[in-house]
Amino acid sequence: MLFFRSEERVREWCRDQGFPVRPLVRIDQLWGLARAWYSTRLQPASRRPQPAEMRAIFAGLGLTGAFWDPQADTFDQGPTKVIDSA
C-alpha cells in the first residue's frame, strides 16, 4: 500500500516490479478509508469493519469490483508477480 506521484509512476512501478496495475485511489478516497478504519481505534468500543461493512465503506467511496470484495474467492490475480510477455 504505497503512494505514487501519478498514474504514470504507478504503471512504471508495476511494470518494473512485475505486478499488475490495480485500481487507483485518490487521496480524498484514502482519507475516507483511513477514517472508516481508524477514527475510533483508540476508543474501547472500536473494532475492525466486518466484511459487509467493508463492502459498504468501499462502495460509498466509489471503490467497487472484485478487487475490493473482502470475501472474493474468484479474484485470481493475487500478488504473485506476472510475467511480462512483451
Partner 1 sequence: MSADFDLAVKLAVYRHFAATGARPSPGEIAGRVTADADAVLEAYRRLRAQRVLVLEADGVSIRMAPPFSGVATQHVVEAGGVSYFANCAWDALGIPAALQKPATVRSRCEQSGDPLRLDVGAEGPGPSDWLFHCVVPAAQWWDDIVFT
Among 50, 52, 60, 75, which residue interacts with partner 1 (rule: CB under 8 A)? 75
* Single-letter amino acid code for the residue at 37: W
How many residues are there in the chain?
86
Q: Return d(Cα 48, Cα 6) in angstroms, integer.
A: 30
At closest approach, how far in Å is the CB of 81 from partner 1? 9
79 near partner 1 (CB under 8 A): yes
Helix (H) or strand (E) holding 8: helix 7-17
Q: Tell me which DSSP letter residue 65 carries.
A: S
Interface residues toward partner 1, by CB under 8 A:
1-7, 9-10, 12-14, 16, 19-22, 24-31, 33-35, 37-39, 41-42, 44, 48, 54, 58, 66-73, 75, 77-79
